[in-house]
Amino acid sequence: MSAPQTAGEPAAEPTNVSLFQPITLGSRTFRNRLWLSPMCQYSAEDGVPGQWHVVHLGARAKGGFGLIFAEATAISPEARISLGDTGLWNDSQEQAWQDIVDFVHERGARIGIQLSHAGRKASLRTPWHTEPGALPIEDGGWTPLSASPIAFPGSTEPTQATGAQLQRIVEDFAASAVRARGAGFDVVEIQAGHGFLLHSFLSPLSNERTDHYGGSLPNRARLLLDVVDAVKEVLGATGPSLFVRLSATDWLEHGLTVHDSAEISQWLRERGVDLVDVSSGGLLPAEIPLGSGYQVPLAQHLRAKAEVPVAAVGLITSPQEAEEIVASGTADAVFVGRAGLADPSFGLRAAHELGHQAAEQLWQKQYVRAIWK
């Protein structure tokens, strides 16, 4: 077996498997197109990632993925979903993330961070709390901000964000992006889906504003585009690649549609976003047609209409399915979530099952004895 690859560098040998072809997005090249989704762990202290995050992300970095994503990470204390969320607003957090980034790079993978403001989904208890739901003020909770004072079911009614508060949020996203670059992350992703702050502006179901942040789609997209412009500026031409996660549809009448998201994706491409990470839902409870790869057609639509690279995500659980998505040109990369939680070595298994010619190069030298034959 050859020495481990330098972080993110493609294997020297050609591959006959589309999923394991390298891809360049912005200033970074990724060794393959099988990536780990950002998934909240709710296990931080004061926003600082700890040993759990080292083990969780490190185990998957040695598992053959081309890109490992850290969870949704708050840009400020009040941007957290819960008190257990990771953050990136101070020096202690940046240093802790840098240690994790260095470890992932030593395993040959690239690593990204998803910057987020929870909006009306902020100030919640952790999901496994005996009394899930809104976190009371007396227990450390706070009043959420959103586009309009419309509560997410089970949450505290938010305050409508003022213009000054929105400007501060744009600045907070940019400041966290500076820290992400300082910590060595390869990708910065802006969370604009799943019912969080930026999504609450995009959807007419949660945005009833009458100012220049409400009404028409360009107005509802204004905050997201302001954030993208600010983050793109501080990352620079040689900094981390820039992704945006969208919920392409709310799956609800009168909500955000895939056609709206295609137009938004075109605006993102024009502003230099390197990839759109295509998810859906999360704004309000909805009847979603859950099933294997149920969001893949959304990614395909955005890729075709906006002519922007996209990643597909959502109940993609087998290597064969992931390979078909990339090989068919439906999406440029695939994120796996639950499958990656269940199997830290999902990437190694995928390379083996798909007959990747350079599969052995993905293995760490300590584990060579376990290579499948």
42-52, pLDDT tens digit by residue? 999 999 999 99
In this prediction, residue 5 carries a pLDDT of 39
In this prediction, residue 132 carries a pLDDT of 83
14-28, pLDDT tens digit by residue? 568 999 999 999 999
In this prediction, residue 373 carries a pLDDT of 75
Alpha-carbon distance of 258 to 255, in angstroms, equals 10
Set out the domains of the chain in order of their start, with CATH numbers.
18-370 (3.20.20.70)
In this prediction, residue 349 carries a pLDDT of 96
The rounded percent of the chain whose pLDDT value lies above 70 is 96
Alpha-carbon distance of 281 to 279, in angstroms, equals 7
> DSSP character for 264?
H
Is residue 271 pLDDT above 90, yes or no? yes
Q: Is 343 exposed, middle or buried (0-12, 13-18, 19+ CB in 10 A)?
A: middle
Alpha-carbon distance of 289 to 224, in angstroms, equals 27
CA-closest candidate to residue 293, choices 306, 275, 279: 279
Length of the chain: 373
Exposure of 102 in the CB half-sphere (CA atoms within 13 A): 8
Rounded to 10°, the helix 163-183/91-106 angle is 40
In this prediction, residue 8 carries a pLDDT of 44
Q: CA angle at residue 311 from 308 to 317, to 5 degrees?
A: 160
Between 85 and 6, where is the model more confident?
Answer: 85
Global pTM reads 0.94
324-353, pLDDT tens digit by residue? 999 999 999 999 999 999 999 999 999 999
| Average pLDDT score over residue span 284-305 | 96
Alpha-carbon distance of 103 to 276, in angstroms, equals 27
Ranges of H-type helices in 107-221: 163-183, 197-202, 217-220
Between 4 and 201, where is the model more confident?
Answer: 201
Question: Do residues 171 and 194 lie in contact, with contact meaning Cβ atoms separated by under 8 Å?
Answer: no
| Average pLDDT score over residue span 225-241 | 97
Average pLDDT, the chain: 94
Q: Is 16 exposed, middle or buried (0-12, 13-18, 19+ CB in 10 A)?
A: exposed
180-192, pLDDT tens digit by residue? 999 999 999 999 9
Residue with tokens 């744009």: 170
Q: Is 234 exposed, middle or buried (0-12, 13-18, 19+ CB in 10 A)?
A: middle
| 93-114 core/surface letters (b: 16 or more CB in 10 A; e: else) | bbebbeebbeebbebbbbbbbb
Alpha-carbon distance of 107 to 66, in angstroms, equals 10
> DSSP character for 155?
S
